[in-house]
Each structure stands twice: as C-alpha cells, then as structure tokens.
Amino acid sequence: MRLKYLKSFARDYAGLPENIKDQVDKQIRFLLADARHPSLHVKKMPGRENVWECRVSKGCRLTFQIDEETFILRRVGAHDVLERP
C-alpha cells in the first residue's frame, strides 16, 4: 500500500507534540504493514462514505480513506478531529 496525505493532515500533524508525532509515525507504519494490527483499532466511521479511523493513543485518533492501493491520511489529533474527519 502507498501513502498520501491531505493538507488538513499535514496541518494537524505539524501542531502535535513530538512524542505524539512519534506515536503517529509508529501507527502509520503498522497501518501500512497490516491494517488489522490490534493496536490500531481500525473501524469505519458511521455516516461517512469510505472514511475510517484508527487509534494513535488513548486521546488521539487518525482518520483516513482507502483508494485502491493507497491510504489517504485525512486528519490526526484529539477526538474532536472525528467531528470533521
């Protein structure tokens, strides 16, 4: 699988503390290797077509889409990013 990201993801990521960025990077590696990795807790977002979420940490989530062989990273941050994935 390949990886792309939206400007919203880049903006969110830039504002994260370094320790959370490290966790995001680790979870992205897991996502690319196996989207069913148990620490990701991947699930489809209700009411959103082809938008998924996964866990970065207890208080941080990452949203993404899957387009053929590409993960498109949409948002990352506290649970409020789930309101506008």
pLDDT at 85 exceeding the cut of 90: no
Q: pTM of the entire structure?
A: 0.91
Per residue in 7-55, pLDDT tens?
999 999 999 999 999 999 999 999 999 999 999 999 999 988 899 999 9
Distance CA 23, CA 46 (A): 25
Domains and CATH numbers, the chain: 2-78 (3.30.2310.20)
Q: Which residues contact 45 (CB under 8 A, 6 or more apart)?
A: 51, 52, 53, 63, 82, 85
Residue 82 has a pLDDT of 80
Is residue 74 a contact partner of residue 55, using CB atoms and an 8 Å limit?
A: no
pLDDT at 2: 93
